[in-house]
Amino acid sequence: MSKAYQQAGVDINAGYEAVERMTSHVQRTMRKEVLGGLGGFGATFDLSQLNMKAPLLVSGTDGVGTKLKLAIDNDKHDTIGIDVVAMCVNDILTTGAEPLYFLDYIATNKVVPEVIEQIVKGVSDGCEETNTALIGGETAEMGEMYHEGEYDLAGFAVGAVEKDDYIDGSSVEPGQAIIGLESSGIHSNGYSLVRKLIQQSGIKLSEPFNQEQTFLDAFLKPTRLYVKPVLAVKSSIKIYAMTHITGGGFYENIPRALPEGITAKIDVTQFPTPAIFDWLQEQGNISTDEMYNIFNMGIGFTLVVDKNQVESTLEILKGQNIKAYKIGETVKGNEPIQLTGV
């Protein structure tokens, strides 16, 4: 290897080892439409094998914000990759698209093969669960850009949907039902505030939060992946709109899928709020209304369906092992969203 490059802070051998370590994880995500393997200059996906008449490609890119800092500070790197996959595939899923392939980008102070492997393991876990091929990626060693031990993680997902099945919310009408799918916890938004409240509280993250998990487990619980349950609903129920509840909570995300003149009327008493949000609210002395403008509060994804399809939708989701609730309805109005029961 180049000694001059190593002296400049880039260890090519460590990069080679990281690739070797991640290969087995990447392989388990492969789909039949992927041509070639790792190591090429470009990754190739054969769309013709999807047998779609008029496919639309839908893309999305995202990261996991300062949740990364919590993972790095506590040397726990094996689930943060699930978060980056979820943030991307859940977004493109809102159009009705099936995620097809994913690329990741890791930038770090120094390539530590064991850490890179753990990150990519998490990415692969998320891809495998959603039948999304981890088709390529980049690991960049940039010592002068990051402090020791630090890294950043971003992802890019591409999916496809038939043109006639594309969902953009434009056909939503008053009198339809809003179904909420449970979140796994905080997911990947609001962590600058979360970390501030952790610091203020003085807790030890190794302490038990409840009987099932420590505080660290609760805070690093991976973002839920909604691909399989939502595609199961879509296969037999007409969905008019979908939202992925991320930064900005209910107030910013649910209205994004609705046309002008339609208000989302949400009754927050129709679903349970996970205890982690009660803890955050108490620590920060935050009003309940503001909590719904920051966090998902227990609902990570929403669907708009006809009222006569509510029971069928909930039954399908139950069969997919995910709790879901009728949390509201669409009504005529100029307000983007109304929350009752706050």
Q: How wide is the angle at C-alpha 59 spanned by C-alphas 58 and 61, nearest 5°?
A: 155
Domains and CATH numbers, the chain: 3-165 (3.30.1330.10), 177-340 (3.90.650.10)
Instruction: Please name which of 175, 212, 192 lies closest in space to residue 308, comparing C-alpha atoms.
Output: 175
Residue 321 phi, psi dihedral angles, 5° rounding = 60, 40
Question: Percent of the chain beyond pLDDT 70?
Answer: 97
pLDDT in tens, 248-284: 999 999 999 999 999 999 999 999 999 999 999 999 9
Question: Can you give the pLDDT at residue 314?
Answer: 98
Cβ-proximal residues to 294 (8 Å cutoff; 6+ apart), any chain: 189, 190, 193, 247, 248, 249, 286
Question: Can you give the pLDDT at residue 37?
Answer: 74
pLDDT in tens, 143-186: 889 999 999 999 999 999 999 999 999 999 999 999 999 999 99
Question: Can you give the pLDDT at residue 1?
Answer: 52
* Helix locations, the chain, DSSP H: 3-7, 12-27, 67-73, 80-93, 113-129, 191-201, 215-220, 227-234, 249-253, 275-284, 288-291, 310-319
pLDDT in tens, 204-220: 999 999 999 999 999 99
Q: Which stretches of the chain score pLDDT less than 70?
A: 1-2, 4-11
Question: Can you give the pLDDT at residue 181?
Answer: 98
Is residue 236 a contact partner of residue 309, using CB atoms and an 8 Å limit?
no
Identify the helix (H) or strand (E) that includes residue 241. strand 241-244
